[in-house]
Amino acid sequence: MTTALWGGRFEDGLSDVAKQLSFSVHIDRRLVHEDIRVNKAHANALMHANVLTQTENQSIQSCLDDIDQQFRMNHDLTVETDEDIHSCIERLVTEKLGDLGKKLHTGKSRNDQVITDSRLFIKSACQDIESRILGVIQSLIQFATTYQTTVFPGMTHFQPAQPVLFAHYMLAYVEKLSRDAKRFRQAYHTADVCSLGSAAMAGNSYGLDRHAIATELGFAHVSQNSMDAVSDRDFMLEFLAAASFCMTHLTRFCEEIVIWNSPLVGFINIGDAFTTGSSIMPQKKNPDMAELIRGKSARVLGHLTAMQHLLKSLPLTYNRDLQEDKCMIFDATDTLMDVLSCLQAMIPTMTLNHDQITAALTIGHLTATELADYLVRQGVPFRESHEMTGKIVNFAVSINTQLQDLTLDQYQQFSPKITASVFDAVSLKSAIATKDSIGGTAQSQVDAQLKRVSAQFNTNHSGTESTP
């Protein structure tokens, strides 16, 4: 019968319902390889501190390697009496090595062990997620490049606003995701601190070389306060915040995909591999993957809020409440990884419908701002030009036409300063070309953006489509 790691103080064991509530091995089993790494580093430190002999350490190292290999072969070595993955590993070592295995936990607590495991996990997750973010960025850059010169209706308040290049639109999301990648790099650095050696909360009594432990485990820094080390979950908050930012950006993009894909708008087509049909309506082609990404954001955003509530009002140092942190981290990681992989693959299947986009460009007076700017260049103060343009738009609405279809006589009813040059000013071509400042939608600026991000993210940059 396996003995609990903490059983000496107690006459009675946990009840079955208490075990159901408190045992976490089914969750933290995911940290098995990190936990073995931590145990190996700790055993080496114990040897250098003369707690273990070299021969004893070699036996423990070999045993831990065997256990690691068995778990990698998908052998489930856990049993129902294991509280968590830490007690499982210690049990397995003790079963194989006897009394020697009982030495492994010397100078170490599950408190500093689990936080070190978690930091290792998050460092790896940050790198994997950043890699997938870069994959989505590359897909967006290629999508933008394919339609590098296509004019597209820009919106504010989901109302026609001003014409932009479609590539400019896509590059806006590249900028957002670029910041997300930076946030995960920062989360990596925040997690890159070794807590092992802090023991339960006051530090260890064996003179363990914590810098050597950190180096062996690949940490750049060592925690400087043992009480902070075992209670700190800031790195998890930062990770979940980065994940929440990223999912928020992805939901915004997917909302646009859902709208654009609707036949009522018809701006894009999504490949069949990323859409589904209806069990009753045979005509349907639903953008389910975009909708699922939009929906799964709720889980990730919820985990950030849950983690904040978990930490709220907790006194120092370790409290069992903190056992709940890992399910949030694991689910956020899995969700974001799946979402990014799907989106990276879906974007290359999307194509633009030029006819619908061209039609949309003739609706909503997209070049009204250009008309106001034209009047300014004709000597009309902007506030007056703004009001005059509003009246011209109102007139165009009343006769069911667009600014570009008004006659010169109709324009001159509002101001004799308007000449035939107004037609060039309110053209889509001119509206795009005049936005030739850094960050603008002029073709030269968008080309420069594409060149910059293509070099930054190692993406081939060559356009293949023209303006509709």
Nearest CA to 312 out of 233, 205, 207, 422 is that of 233
Name 269's bridge partners: 351
Per annotation, catalytic residue among 278, 341, 421, 444: 278
- The angle formed by the CA atoms of residues 462, 463 and 468, to the nearest 5 degrees, is 180
Distance of alpha carbon 229 from alpha carbon 193, whole angstroms = 9
Alpha-carbon distances of 388 from 260, 408, 431, rounded to whole Å: 33, 15, 19
153 contacts 357 by C-beta, under 8 angstroms: yes
Q: Radius of gyration (Cα) for the chain, nearest Å? A: 31
Distance of alpha carbon 424 from alpha carbon 404, whole angstroms = 9
- Structure token digits, residue 106: 């010397």
Q: Which long-range contacts (CB under 8 A, 24 or more apart) does 433-438 make?
A: 434/370, 434/373
* Number of CB atoms found within 10 A of residue 155's CB: 16
- Structure token digits, residue 160: 């026609």
Number of H helices, E strands in the chain: 19, 6
> Is 42 marked active-site?
no
Burial of residue 147 (CB within 10 Å: 0-12, 13-18, 19+) is buried
* Number of CB atoms found within 10 A of residue 217's CB: 19
231 contacts 198 by C-beta, under 8 angstroms: no
Chain-centroid distance of CA 180 in Å reads 6
Secondary structure (DSSP) of 251-281:
HHHHHHHHHHHSTTT--EE--GGG-B--SS-
Distance of alpha carbon 8 from alpha carbon 2, whole angstroms = 13
| CA end-to-end distance (rounded Å), the chain | 75
443 contacts 432 by C-beta, under 8 angstroms: yes
> Is 278 marked active-site?
yes
Per annotation, catalytic residue among 15, 157, 398, 437: 157
Catalytic (active-site) positions: 157, 278
